């Protein structure tokens, strides 16, 4: 498999720095801001599993003030069955601890999800 990155030796030949930024050194609030811009499905299924810092940020109810589960009828981005999407949505609502401000659940919105949201 070909790699698109250059080797350390090539970088030195071009006079480029080989220092890789350490994303863990970003302030927590900046990292949280970046993560909040992602789709809820991405956060629940992968982002929270990246590292302990991201897991701790994902546990914060502030992270779940906005829930976005956006699917296209023509080309679904994810291969989830509707039950799994509902489960992800309910998980996110529960994580918000009553602080939910905005929710976008096109194509999966059902009455019992709305009941769950109103109860929380």
Structure tokens at 115: 């009941």
pLDDT at site 83: 72
- Cβ atoms of 41 and 69 within 8 Å: the answer is yes
Segments making up each domain of the chain, as ranges: 24-119
Query: Structure tokens of 82?
Result: 């509707």
Residue with tokens 């070909």: 2
Predicted TM-score of the model (pTM): 0.66
Contact 107, 80 (CB under 8 A): no
Most confident option among 7-16, 50-59, 65-74, 84-93 = 50-59
In angstroms, the CA 38 to CA 1 distance is 29
Q: Is residue 99 pLDDT above 50, yes or no?
A: yes
Residue 59 has pLDDT above 80, yes or no: yes
What value does the mean pLDDT of the chain take? 76
What is the per-residue pLDDT for 74? 44
Binned at pLDDT 50, 70 and 90, residue 26 comes out as confident
């Amino acid at each position: 498999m070909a790699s698109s990155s250059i080797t350390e030796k090539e970088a030195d030949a071009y006079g480029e720095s080989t220092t890789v930024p350490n994303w863990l050194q970003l302030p927590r609030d900046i990292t949280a801001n970046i993560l909040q811009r992602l789709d809820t499905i991405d956060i629940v299924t992968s982002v929270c599993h990246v590292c302990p810092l991201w897991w701790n940020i994902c546990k914060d109810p502030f992270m779940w003030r906005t829930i976005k589960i956006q699917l296209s009828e023509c080309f679904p981005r994810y291969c989830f069955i509707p039950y799994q999407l509902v489960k992800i949505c309910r998980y996110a609502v529960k994580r918000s601890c009553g602080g939910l401000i905005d929710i976008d659940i096109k194509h999966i919105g059902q009455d019992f999800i709305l009941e769950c949201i109103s109860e929380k």
